[in-house]
Structure 1
Amino acid sequence: MRTEERREHLRTALVDAAEAVIARDGLSGLKARDLAQTVGCAIGTIYTVFPDLDALILAVNLRTLLLFDATIAQVRTGSGPAGPSGRAARSAAIEDLVRLAVAYLRFAREHPTRWRALFQHRRETAPPDWYLREQGRLFRTIEGPVQVLCPRLGEAERALLARSLFSATHGLVSLGLDEKLMSLSEAVLRRQIETVVTAIGRGLIAQDSAKGQP
């Protein structure tokens, strides 16, 4: 096996091992010594493939983002260019936002440690561009319904609003799943999300309509 092939094989093995640890124990369970033992290499060899554990965690988190992307890709949406128009389009857009938010809740419940690792990982430097691009792709999924609700918004405003909607949903999910704070049942938490996201959607419609009045 050539050197480059060995490096790629080791890289995949390390990401697989780290992914399994994070899925089972969270970020706190990730130790270089244990990873080296699992994949059968020296500790120092890890750093010939990854500059540090931060880079390895980012590789695992990228897999988590891709898994989440696959989850929301299954959400059937009715808004958009091929969907209804007028009032029906706006109603469909709100329903899409609710479905996306509920899908986020479902993902967090099904993959709690991997989901938490996305937000618990702290870096001294900004994430690399490839990671930010993947995050941005997920936010653009939210931008579609937002554009239907607020067609007068510019691109930058729409992107900011999509991130704000995500933050609101994430806050509800984080608090609702925190056993030390409230730990709500899935049914109650889902109703909370549906209520809040629907209210935000209706508010955006009213705000956009007001902008269009002379």
Structure 2
Amino acid sequence: MERRKKLREALILAAEGMIAEKGLAGLKTRDLAREIGCANGAVYNLVADVDELILRVGSRTLRRLDEALTGAEGAGAASPQETLIRIAIAYCDFAAENLELWRALFEHRMERGKIVPDWAISEQMELFRHIYRPLAALFPDRSPDELGITARSLFSAVHGMVALGLEQKLVAVPLPALRNEIAALVRATLLGLVVPAR
């Protein structure tokens, strides 16, 4: 039992390294099996399938992203607006520093007919608290559902800028410029939300 646990951990770490180096398309179970010293078929005694393996790697990525966003929130001395800007820039920096692992969170598609397990959805949704809390301080009269929609919309805007800005093609933006643009977007969005609320 202990050996299986250690082998499973080694598999997830090896998969994480492979995705970080080669992207999601470079994940090969045969290479992973060789790296951790087991037969190719034994991989599926450690995880149910490749989908679970990718989700387990994603879980580790989300945990580190959570730590980065928590660090960006600071001790709470900043205004809600400034906190949201810090969080957005920390998200951008995390994506830039962990590009392939971050991309894998959004590129992975479950095998047809399979649904994402509840534990994975819960881990993803938990990160929205970083956006939700400062928004709740800004808009105390909004319902939880309204705040949830605003949090997801703000995330979508920032994520879109990060995804396109970090593309290695036509729309690539230098990281310092991307940080500034993200800060400007969050400020403008919040100003647009605050003014009608008043």
2:12–2:57 CA contact under 8 A, matched in 1: yes
1:69 alignment partner in structure 2: 66
1:152–1:208 CA contact under 8 A, matched in 2: no
The normalised TM-score by structure 2 is: 0.94
1:212 alignment partner in structure 2: none
Q: How does 1:1-214 map to 2 (within 5 A)?
A: 4-77=1-74, 92-123=79-110, 124=112, 125-209=114-198
Moved >6 Å (runs of 4+): none
How many pairs does the alignment contain? Answer: 196
Aligned counterparts of 1:137 and 1:53: Cα–Cα separation in 2: 24
The normalised TM-score by structure 1 is: 0.87
Once the two structures are superposed, residues 180-211 of structure 1 have per-residue CA deviations (whole angstroms, 9 ceiling, x without a partner) of 231111121112101110011111111222xx
SS at match of 1:51: coil
Structure 2 unmatched runs, 5+: none
RMSD, aligned α-carbons? 1.4
In our comparison, the structure showing a higher alpha carbon Rg is: 1
User: 1:105 Cα deviation (Å)?
Assistant: 0.7
Aligned counterparts of 2:101 and 2:50: Cα–Cα separation in 1: 16
User: Structure 2: which amino acid aligns with 1:29?
Assistant: G
Percent identity, please.
44
Aligned counterparts of 1:49 and 1:76: Cα–Cα separation in 2: 37
Structure 1 unmatched runs, 5+: 84-90, 210-214
User: Structure 1: which amino acid aligns with 2:107?
Assistant: Q
1:140–1:159 CA contact under 8 A, matched in 2: no
User: 1:77 Cα deviation (Å)?
Assistant: 4.4
